[in-house]
Amino acid sequence: MKTLKVIIGIICMLVVCSICQAQELSKRKSVIIGEPLKESDFSQPSTVQHSGGLSGEMSLKGTPGSPYLFDEWLDGTIIMKDKNPVKGKKYRYNLYTQQMQFIEGNDTVAIANPEDIEQISFGGKTFIFTSYDAPEKTGKGYFELISEGNCRILKKWVVLYHVVDEQEAGQISSSVDESDFLRDCNCYLQFGETPAMKASHNKKELLPCFKEDQDKVEAFMKQNNIKMKTENDLKAVVDYYNKIQE
């Protein structure tokens, strides 16, 4: 009898596992998740260091602002990797949760399978979902597409919800609230299908990225007195590199 109960128990577990797997597969076929997002999903203090968070002991990096790239919902278009467009939705980019959200009926939902998306455009900006070099691992996330070509310039927007304690409050600028969303962004370079890597403002660190063409790129920078201090400087260098790749 005991053996029979054990067998029945194992069968029940297998059935439950099969149902769970079937449900998971059915979710992957959908472009959206049907589960509404709550405001509390992004309004809690973060315990993870972001590039928009603390830099140094008591310096605060980032600009106080909204957790959304644009506060308003904007008309947009998704192009799937099979080239089919998805139109007729309003979107916003939640920088804190790193989700692309849109309105479905009366609910706010997020794109569930961003790997199936070629690009998403709204607010005059285009975004892609791709891999990038992160500390100790390769991450995946949304990037604003700044420049196309053999080498792409991508911009990663981040936000940190920073809560200032009483001791810290006396050591930072009074222009920063006791609790603020701090926005920041960094440019990345992506060569072909390789993971994107953060672009350096240091010429000696940047030039090796261009491998056998680094001498040509360096000569171009010297000829045009490019100091790598702005995004436009980076774009000029990458545009030149892409041109000599044609």
pLDDT tens figures, 167-224 = 544 554 544 444 578 888 889 999 999 999 999 888 899 999 999 999 999 999 999 9
Q: What is the pLDDT of residue 165?
A: 54
Query: Could you tell me the two tokens for 96?
Result: 């804190």
Query: Could you tell me the two tokens for 61?
Result: 């990096």
Question: To which residue do tokens 């059915």 refer?
Answer: 26
73, 88 contact by CB (below 8 A) = no
What are the structural domain ranges in the chain? 32-199, 200-246
Query: Could you tell me the two tokens for 159?
Result: 């936000």
Percent of the chain residues topping a pLDDT of 70:
68
118, 83 contact by CB (below 8 A) = yes
Reply yes or no on whether the pLDDT at 136 is more than 70: yes
Which candidate, 246, 241, 243, places its Cα nearest to that of 208? Answer: 241
Encode pLDDT of 106-121 as tens digits: 888 999 889 999 999 9
What's the length of the chain? 246
Q: How many Cα atoms within 13 Å fall on the side-chain side of residue 108?
A: 13
**What is this structure's pTM?**
0.70
Q: What is the pLDDT of residue 104?
A: 87
219-226: long-range contacts at Cβ-Cβ below 8 A with a sequence spacing of 24 or more? none
Q: What is the pLDDT of residue 32?
A: 33
Reply yes or no on whether the pLDDT at 57 is more than 80: no
Q: What is the pLDDT of residue 65?
A: 80
Reply yes or no on whether the pLDDT at 166 is more than 80: no
199, 163 contact by CB (below 8 A) = no
111, 32 contact by CB (below 8 A) = yes
Q: Could you give the angle at the alpha carbon of 229 between the alpha carbons of 227 and 234, nearest 5°?
A: 80
Q: How far apart are CA 31 and CA 94, in angstroms?
A: 18
